Structure 1
Amino acid sequence: MTSYTDKGMKPENGRFLAFDHVTFWVSNAKQAASYYVTRFGFQPLAYRGLETGSRQTASYVVRMNKIIFVFQAQYEPEETTFNKEIAIHGDFVKDVAFEVENLDYIVSYAKKQGAVIIQDIWEERDEFGVVRMAKLKTYGDNTHTLIDRSKYRGSFLPGYMSLKTDPIHQYLPKVEINFIDHVVGNMPDNKMEEAASWYERCLQFHRFWSVDDKQVCTEYSALRSIVMANWEETVKMPINEPAPGKKKSQVQEYVEYHGGAGVQHIAINTEDIITTIENLRSRGVEFLSIPAKYYTMIREQLKHSKVKVAESIDTLERLNILIDYDDNGYLLQIFTKNTQDRPTLFLEVIQRRNHNGFGAGNFKTLFESIELEQEKRGNL
């Protein structure tokens, strides 16, 4: 595992502030949004569709604290890029949007570095102000929308109408998850370096952390991973690729079912993972199972560690939450099963206590748990 201390030159202009929102392209936006509302505890936020003058697409927006997901579907049956990509990938994350400062500089810099601009700077306005945006191509069929909302005070974006709170929440336990921690992309073999270099070259991101296949492997499969981050390290984009193994790794399974590179999971950050997972489980969210031997091993290791985990290991074991730590702190993390039919996208819930890693100590156990699921699917 490598943590990088050299961030390179500080960008002289233009800042990436945070993840703004994530847009999913789906075949039925209304039902997809409802799943995240009922299961994960998001609140309906906004809608754009026929009633608001959008003739081509319907979009449902849901929010939990600073996390915003947009589910977009196409109305018309004719063959468009939208329908072609849905046919290839199934429901998938199409766009990861970043809130930025000095949009003009960031776009002009990316252009000079050869970035493909899908849509150059445009603005949208309503009674709440004006938003400026641009869209760049990244790996696979994915894009990044860069958003300057400094002159906008509406709840989401112009062109959307507000939605009412969903009444189901009064019957279900509340979920408190605060923000997007990181968004992970899976690449085909030997494409990770190319994707990582794009973030360095075009967005002035730096290498934050990495692992190779000697550090992350089981008897059957392995991966390599590089985490790219902005200067302030508020936006982190891990990039994985499969490494050769005896059997098919989960990254290779993803690439085959997704039809190429794409977003594999979204990690969302909570301050209290135990309450969060208990409440998500009672709402019917399904998580990976972790073998009991993992907790036997962790109990033994923690006896010799400087770090004291505040949470009960018995509770973490009951909930299947993983622990990773170093001399300074620890993180707790857990992974959902796939959130759709294809074995592609899932979510991670993470709690950090002075630990900025990505659970390298858990990768082997996580892989073994995913391999059990792969075996059930006949894909190992």
Structure 2
Amino acid sequence: MKPHKRPHNSCSNLIQKRELFTFITRRWRSHSTSSLFYNTPKTVHTVLTVRILRCLFLFLSGHCAASYYCNKLGFEPLAYQGLETGCRDVVSHVVKQGKIIYVFVSALNPGNKEMGEHLVKHGDGAKDIAFTVENCDNLVQKARERGAIIVKEPYVLEDKNGWVKLAVLQTYGDTTHTFVERTAYNGLFLPGFRPPLHRDPLLAKLPSGLLDFIDHVVGNQPDDEMVPVVEWYQKNLLFHRFWSVDDKQLQTDFSALRSIVVANYEETVKMPINEPAMGKRKSQIQEYVEYYGGPGVQHIAMNTSDIITSVSERGMEFMCVPDTYYQMLKKKLQHSQVRVTEDLDILEELKILVDFDDNGYLLQIFTKPVQDRPTVFLEVIQRHNHQGFGAGNFKALFEAIEADQNARGNLTILSPNGESNHI
């Protein structure tokens, strides 16, 4: 039965504002499904199909953010919503690359209190990670029974191309998850969106970014809050622990962190959850928490089949690792049965990291923060039969981040009680 309708241009609706205050990441993969199993009284499992749809960001200037991602990362304009489409509250610029869709959204009116307060507290940052579902009502009800906070009950957006049902759940900090049921919709993006008003002719002259889909999304937590967040996913979304590492493994001479990765049943949706650990100086996770104003999404990893081409010709600013990393890497590879097919000299020139085990390897590189606050950044990752998260690279990555922290004056000495003192 078709659900109750709401007009697609009712942008005053609170959750539609949440929906559109966004930088949306969308991953369309027919095989990228999460089977959430719920026990019925007869112990028969009900399967609800879920996949990552998007990561929602709030931006002060959506237009500038969209242009930046198109020019620096190879995205293309896909859709638009704003005054010209009948939306009076927010403007949304949608860009796409491969199976990834980002929507950059800004407030149109000075009285937009909700978005204004969020930007003052957090700056530009991720607000929502969304999942597509086949039965939104059922999934929301099961999550409610398990104790999840429902921020917005299921509601409907509609236009001539069909309807979409959405609902919002609270997760860590001010971050939320949106469930999106869109099996009855065949439009360009979402109801109310139209083709972009303008396409920059410069983009056609730039090389392809070769980014394909979202690999994983990382969330940072304050100290001692990682495990409760992991338990939230296990309880409310029936995710499981996929991988974990403690501060003895993730440390440098100055700082440390702990991390647990949660994944869906089929392990196609992965979400690392981090927290700081006590060290001699302030960790990168603690710096994030302080500048973001609490827990939030730290970075989004985008998968590519050709990382060298993806990162070499667009001028994106990446973190720098020392030459000694590659000297040690070459020595380690001499004693490994894994053969890296890419030219190691080119990887060194581009500062691409390599991690490997007996079965395969991965290549990864991290941008510097993509906004003024040292909070959210991006990762580009290429996998060759390796499903890890670059644990072998953590020390080199942390040292690169610590160099940037030091330049910002934030690699501060910690007292025994955890208080920070500037050097």
Counterpart selection for 2:222 from 184, 188, 192: 188
Q: What is the TM-score of this pair, normalised by structure 1?
A: 0.94
Is the Cα–Cα contact under 8 Å of residues 36 and 47 in structure 2 kept in the other structure?
no
Q: Distance in 1 between matches of 2:337 and 2:100?
A: 34
SS of corresponding position for 1:374: helix
Note the aligned Cα RMSD (angstroms): 1.6
Q: Which structure has the bigger radius of gyration?
A: 2
| Alignment of structure 1 residues 29-48 onto 2, 5 Å | 29-48=62-81
Which position in structure 1 is the counterpart of 2:29? none
Count, aligned residues: 371
Q: CA deviation at 1:324?
A: 0.7
Q: Distance in 2 between matches of 1:173 and 1:18?
A: 30
Which position in structure 2 is the counterpart of 1:233? 267
SS of corresponding position for 2:378: strand
Which position in structure 2 is the counterpart of 1:4? none
Q: Does 1:133 align with 2:171?
A: no
Q: Structure 1 pair 110/10, CA: closer, same or farther in 2 (3 Å)?
A: closer
Q: Distance in 2 between matches of 1:60 and 1:13?
A: 37
Q: Does 1:148 align with 2:185?
A: no
| Alignment of structure 1 residues 76-155 onto 2, 5 Å | 76-78=109-111, 80-155=113-188
Identity %: 55
Once the two structures are superposed, what CA deviation does each residue of 1:143-164 show, in whole Å capped at 9, x if it has no partner? 1111122121112100111115
Is the Cα–Cα contact under 8 Å of residues 185 and 239 in structure 1 kept in the other structure?
yes
| Alignment of structure 1 residues 272-351 onto 2, 5 Å | 272-279=306-313, 283-351=314-382
Q: CA deviation at 1:99?
A: 1.5
Q: What is the TM-score of this pair, normalised by structure 2?
A: 0.85
Which structure 2 segments of 5+ residues have no match?
1-33, 39-44, 412-423
Q: Does 1:355 align with 2:389?
A: no
Q: CA deviation at 1:177?
A: 0.5
Counterpart selection for 1:209 from 231, 243, 257: 243
SS of corresponding position for 1:162: coil
Q: Structure 1 pair 197/8, CA: closer, same or farther in 2 (3 Å)?
A: farther
Is the Cα–Cα contact under 8 Å of residues 35 and 47 in structure 2 kept in the other structure?
no
Q: Distance in 1 between matches of 2:353 and 2:291?
A: 27
Q: Does 1:27 align with 2:27?
A: no
Is the Cα–Cα contact under 8 Å of residues 48 and 161 in structure 1 kept in the other structure?
yes
Q: Distance in 1 between matches of 2:52 and 2:93?
A: 18
Q: Distance in 2 between matches of 1:71 and 1:9?
A: 30
Is the Cα–Cα contact under 8 Å of residues 36 and 264 in structure 2 kept in the other structure?
no
Which position in structure 2 is the counterpart of 1:3? none
Is the Cα–Cα contact under 8 Å of residues 14 and 103 in structure 1 kept in the other structure?
no
Q: Structure 1 pair 28/148, CA: closer, same or farther in 2 (3 Å)?
A: same
Q: Distance in 2 between matches of 1:18 and 1:349?
A: 20
Residue 301 of structure 2 aligns with an amino acid whose one-letter code is A
Q: Distance in 1 between matches of 2:37 and 2:193?
A: 36
Which position in structure 1 is the counterpart of 2:193? 160
Query: Structure with the greater relative contact order (CA < 8 A, sep ≥ 6): 1 or 2?
Result: 1
Q: Structure 1 pair 50/180, CA: closer, same or farther in 2 (3 Å)?
A: same
Residue 395 of structure 2 aligns with an amino acid whose one-letter code is K
Is the Cα–Cα contact under 8 Å of residues 45 and 162 in structure 1 kept in the other structure?
yes
Is the Cα–Cα contact under 8 Å of residues 16 and 230 in structure 1 kept in the other structure?
no
